[in-house]
A and B are shown apart, each in its own frame.
Chain A
Amino acid sequence: NAGVTQTPKFRILKIGQSMTLQCTQDMNHNYMYWYRQDPGMGLKLIYYSVGAGITDKGEVPNGYNVSRSTTEDFPLRLELAAPSQTSVYFCASSDTGWAPEQFFGPGTRLTVL
């Protein structure tokens, strides 16, 4: 199993540009999440999904959009990028049941200039 994969690993955007961060998991997990992590800070939840077709806002959703058309994929869309969106983005997935811990992807480092 590849686990949770994210692309791209790095990206530089200009202010006002848009992009999609890709996330795929092969563990058949129902739950998927997007977090951002700023230097020296913890993890802030942007959006999450409890299954295909179902998404909901987390703590910091402004400036982002998500979709979940399949169990495996959970892309994060940035519209009109702003310098405040410079961060490292992590996708994660989890199962429900006895061991609901999250599995994280390797991250995407995004810089908006």
Chain B
Amino acid sequence: QQQVKQSPQSLIVQKGGISIINCAYENTAFDYFPWYQQFPGKGPALLIAIRPDVSEKKEGRFTISFNKSAKQFSLHIMDSQPGDSATYFCAAITSGGSYIPTFGRGTSLIVHP
């Protein structure tokens, strides 16, 4: 049973556009939600993370929106650039519990120049 559903599987946007990746979870015990960015041939790297006590967190062009009642969270990339082309993973963690992350299946983003 996949506990974190990520969509879309792939995404193509034009330079300057907005990229939106969505994740939905089932386990209400999750209380920490990081996003990772992975470039080809590299390991995933933390991009931005949020806790459910806030509805939005912004770091530069990257924003996480969180909807606790709907059990959904999303990554928005504003003014998308070709350098943003990568695979993005969402994850959910129960801190104070197992701490083992549950990952989404990933979204391959291509930003055309």
A residues lining the B interface (CB < 8 Å): 4, 31, 33, 40-43, 45, 48, 50, 90, 92, 94, 96-107
Contacts and interface: CB of A to CB of B under 8 A. Distances in A.
Contacts of A43: 44, 89, 103
B101 A102 contact: yes
Given A42-B105, A43-B89, A31 B43 contact: no
B34 interface: yes
A91 B41 CA distance: 14
Contact of A48 (B41, B42, B45, B100): B100
A97 B93 CA distance: 11
Contacts of B89: 42-43
A98 B53 CA distance: 13
A96 B44 CA distance: 19
B44 A45 contact: no
Given A42-B89, A42-B104, A43-B89, A101 B46 contact: yes
The size bracket of the interface on B is: 20 to 34
Given A42-B104, A42-B106, A43-B89, A96 B43 contact: no
Interface string B67-95: 00000000000000000000001010101
B49 interface: yes
Contacts of A33: 100
A45 B45 contact: no
Nearest to B10: A40
Contact of A100 (B42, B99, B105, B108): B99
B62 interface: no
A64 B85 CA distance: 33
Nearest to A42: B105
A101 B34 contact: yes
